[in-house]
């Protein structure tokens, strides 16, 4: 049955916050794509191998988990998640600048460590902000935020592909510089218009006598977090990021090393994946409003698993590109719908729930970026890409637990705050 959307009309503060937070997602997607699709170039420039790339990816995931912990701490102070996201974007600017100009392998590794810290802050900050804005709108918005990330990721992959065609005299790292500029602009937007909310505290004039009476002792708030549902959603986050990290980290190398694709063609695997991811995220919110989260997650997981299976058996570049495209079409909505569901688990502690769920992001990234790389080093990339197929199928099996609610319930006890 079609869900009825009784969402309130968003105010100008909510609309401005939506624009600013979308900019944060876009900056993150651009920087991520620029760095990850440049790995093949880094290998050639600094003389590193797949095993060293695997260790760098592992280090980024570990530092990013620390960044998420820091995000939870910062969000509890003044400025909340808006400060988390602004700080994270500023760290990304530093990371991109270092990676673009690194004279040695050691400096490059340091740049990726800084990037890991910014990654954790921005991942947590964008999701915290997005959940808050979604609650203000009172309808599903999370997949549209992730669509901003995807658009920027496509641009990043195409920028790196285009940079491969530049003359040899072009400066190394030139393709990375747009990422720093966009991250800096996004930091300014979030600092100015990022979302904050607080309880409404209004005493009507007609009830001044009652206001002067002793107030009843407030009920103690339940500060416990619903760990059972969080762990279930964590499975979805892990499965998505295993697949996503495997594609983003290794698809370019897979096409180049296994299927012998030219240097300018190899990054198109990630571009194909992101292109269909964008389509599924642009339509994801509409599907959720129509059928609910659970059914959308189930169908998406089955399509994504089919695409990854096609990558495993691909014997040519076109077939592999088709597999990556199909995987993106299915996997695209899964992560945003996990965070959307998390925002409704404990509305009074949404930032804390989102921060804890975000840790599963890096569990998935380690399994996808590191484990798949380790398996590929020991055997083949085909076996490595078989790992995420099983996890994504597990998400399809438990999708019914994600709920059928199509429209987030707006919080009547919050109002926009512009500071």
As a 3-state breakdown, the chain gives helix, strand, coil percent values, each rounded to 5, of: 75, 0, 20
Q: Where are the alpha helices (DSSP H) in 350-380?
A: 350-365, 372-378
pLDDT of residue 248: 80
Flag whether pLDDT at 93 surpasses 80.
yes
Flag whether pLDDT at 239 surpasses 80.
yes
Average pLDDT over the chain, rounded to whole? 81
Q: Which of 168, 150, 173 is nearest to 103 (CA)?
A: 173
Q: Which helix (H) or strand (E) holds 414?
A: strand 414-416
Question: Considering the domain boundaries, does residue 208 fall inside one?
Answer: no
d(CA 366, CA 320): 23
Higher pLDDT, residue 84 or 264:
84
Question: Considering the domain boundaries, does residue 371 fall inside one?
Answer: yes
Half-sphere exposure of 419 (CA within 13 A, CB side): 11
pLDDT of residue 328: 93
d(CA 400, CA 263): 42
Confidence of residue 386 (pLDDT cuts 50, 70, 90): confident
Give the tokens for residue 16.
């401005």
Question: Considering the domain boundaries, does residue 417 fall inside one?
Answer: no
Q: Where are the beta strands (DSSP E) in 116-250?
A: 197-199
- Can you give the CATH number for the domain in which 177 is found? 1.20.1250.20
For the chain, what is the domain count? Answer: 1
197-211, 266-280, 290-304, 360-374 — which one is most confidently predicted on average? Answer: 290-304
Question: Considering the domain boundaries, does residue 321 fall inside one?
Answer: yes
pLDDT tens figures, 304-314 = 999 999 999 99
Higher pLDDT, residue 35 or 3:
35
Residue with the two structure tokens 């740049």: 111
Question: Considering the domain boundaries, does residue 207 fall inside one?
Answer: no
What distance, in Å, lies between the first and last C-alpha atoms of the chain? 42
Confidence of residue 83 (pLDDT cuts 50, 70, 90): very high
Domain that holds residue 38: 12-196+227-406
Question: Considering the domain boundaries, does residue 212 fall inside one?
Answer: no
Higher pLDDT, residue 6 or 51:
51
Question: Considering the domain boundaries, does residue 322 fall inside one?
Answer: yes
Confidence of residue 31 (pLDDT cuts 50, 70, 90): very high
d(CA 113, CA 95): 8
């Amino acid at each position: 049955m079609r869900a009825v959307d009784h969402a309130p009309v968003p105010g100008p503060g909510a609309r401005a916050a939506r624009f600013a937070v979308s900019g944060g997602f876009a900056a993150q997607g651009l920087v991520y794509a620029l760095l990850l699709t440049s790995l093949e170039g880094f290998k050639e420039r600094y003389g590193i191998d797949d095993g060293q790339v695997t260790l760098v990816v592992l280090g980024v995931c570990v530092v990013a988990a620390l960044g998420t912990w820091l995000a939870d701490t910062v969000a509890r102070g003044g400025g909340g998640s808006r400060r988390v996201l602004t700080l994270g974007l500023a760290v990304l600017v530093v990371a991109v600048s270092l990676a673009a100009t690194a004279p040695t392998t050691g400096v490059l590794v340091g740049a990726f460590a800084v990037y890991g810290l910014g990654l954790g802050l921005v991942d947590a900050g964008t999701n915290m902000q997005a959940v808050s804005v979604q609650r203000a709108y009172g309808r599903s918005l999370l997949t549209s935020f992730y669509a901003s990330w995807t658009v920027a990721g496509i641009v990043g992959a195409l920028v790196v592909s285009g940079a491969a065609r530049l003359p040899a005299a072009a400066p190394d790292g030139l393709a990375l510089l747009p990422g720093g500029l966009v991250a800096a602009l996004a930091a300014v937007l979030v600092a100015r218009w990022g979302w904050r909310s607080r309880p409404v505290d209004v005493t009507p004039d007609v009830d001044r006598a009652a206001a002067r009476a002793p107030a009843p002792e407030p009920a103690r708030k339940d500060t416990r977090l619903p760990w059972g549902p969080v762990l279930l959603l964590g499975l979805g986050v892990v499965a998505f990021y295993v697949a996503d990290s495997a594609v983003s980290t290794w698809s370019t190398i897979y096409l180049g090393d296994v299927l012998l694709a030219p240097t300018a063609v190899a990054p198109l695997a990630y571009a194909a994946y992101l292109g269909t991811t964008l389509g599924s995220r642009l339509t994801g919110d509409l599907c959720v409003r129509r059928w609910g989260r659970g059914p959308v997650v189930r169908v998406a997981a089955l399509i994504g698993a089919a695409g990854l299976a096609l990558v495993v058996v691909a014997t040519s570049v076109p077939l592999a590109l088709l597999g990556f495209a199909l995987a993106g079409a299915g996997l695209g909505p899964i992560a945003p719908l996990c965070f959307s569901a998390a925002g409704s688990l404990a509305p009074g502690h949404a930032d804390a729930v989102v921060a804890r769920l975000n840790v599963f992001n890096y569990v998935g990234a380690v399994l996808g970026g590191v484990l798949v790389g380790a398996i590929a080093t020991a055997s083949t990339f085909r076996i490595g890409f078989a790992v995420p197929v099983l996890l994504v199928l597990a998400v399809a099996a438990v999708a019914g637990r994600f709920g059928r609610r199509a429209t987030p319930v707006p919080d009547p006890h919050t109002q926009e705050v512009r500071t």
